Amino acid sequence: MVEEDLKDFKLKPMKCELNFLNKSDGSAILAQGETVVLVSVNGPLDIKSTSQNMEKATLEVIFSSKGGKPTVSDRFKENVIRQTCETAIFGCLYPRTGITITIQELEDYGGLLPTTINCTCLALLNSGLAMRHVVAAVGCALDEAGNLIIDPTNDQIQTATATMYFVFDSREKNLVTGFSTGTFGEGVYDEALERCRAASDLVFNFYRDIVASYCNVIG
């Protein structure tokens, strides 16, 4: 049923450039619709012994909003992205080192956090760090009539009674991270989860196309 509903469905247009910053180990700039994010990855790097983890790399995520002043919402984004990336990166291959992910919000017209997670994944791929899997984030909104809208616009988000965001891995499409706002029933959550899981295929396909085109250029 979900696959049939999404047969003709398209996410907002996605555009990406890898290696956008030549002084980073990996970088990407991603636009999903009119929302734009720039991410750089540096590491593994030597760090102070007090910050070292003997078993895996220490991951630091720095999010900078367009306004420049850090907020509680920015710290929340950093925490979600760090937890998501820790599931994806083979940190055990880089013990006692540090990996820094720096994120700059350029434009926010809705769907900022999913765009940020997807851009971060592309920057990690560009960095060459060993990864267990890649991840794809998809959001949806519940409108006042009870309809689920996948990859909603900013206007749809503003009038929604609830929003839900999901991050899936590329291997089994298992849920890696989930977060939501508003109120909704269990049935609505389950439907949103499955619809977003199906829509994540579009994001993973986009990753494959971008990486393939990049490999062709450097090949």
pLDDT of 205 higher than 60: yes
pLDDT (average), residues 25-40? 97
User: Quick check: helix, strand or coil at residue 147?
Assistant: coil
> What is the structure's pLDDT at 216?
67
Q: Is the bond leading into 44 cis (omega within 30 degrees of zero)?
A: yes
User: Quick check: helix, strand or coil at residue 159?
Assistant: helix
**Amino acid identity, position 110:** G
Domain edges within the chain: 2-218
Query: Per-residue confidence at 180, pLDDT binned at 50, 70, 90?
Result: very high
8 A C-beta contact, residue 160 and residue 98:
no
Share of the chain above pLDDT 70, in %: 94
> What is the structure's pLDDT at 6?
44
pLDDT of 2 higher than 70: no
Domain 2-218 bears CATH identifier 3.90.79.10 = no
> What is the structure's pLDDT at 217?
55
Q: What is the rounded CA–CA span in Å between residue 24 and residue 181?
A: 35
Residues 6+ apart with CB under 8 A from 35: 107, 108, 109, 110, 111, 112, 115
pLDDT of 146 higher than 60: yes
Q: What is the rounded CA–CA span in Å between residue 148 and residue 7?
A: 16
> What is the structure's pLDDT at 9?
62
> What is the structure's pLDDT at 3?
38
Mean of the per-residue pLDDT values of the chain: 92
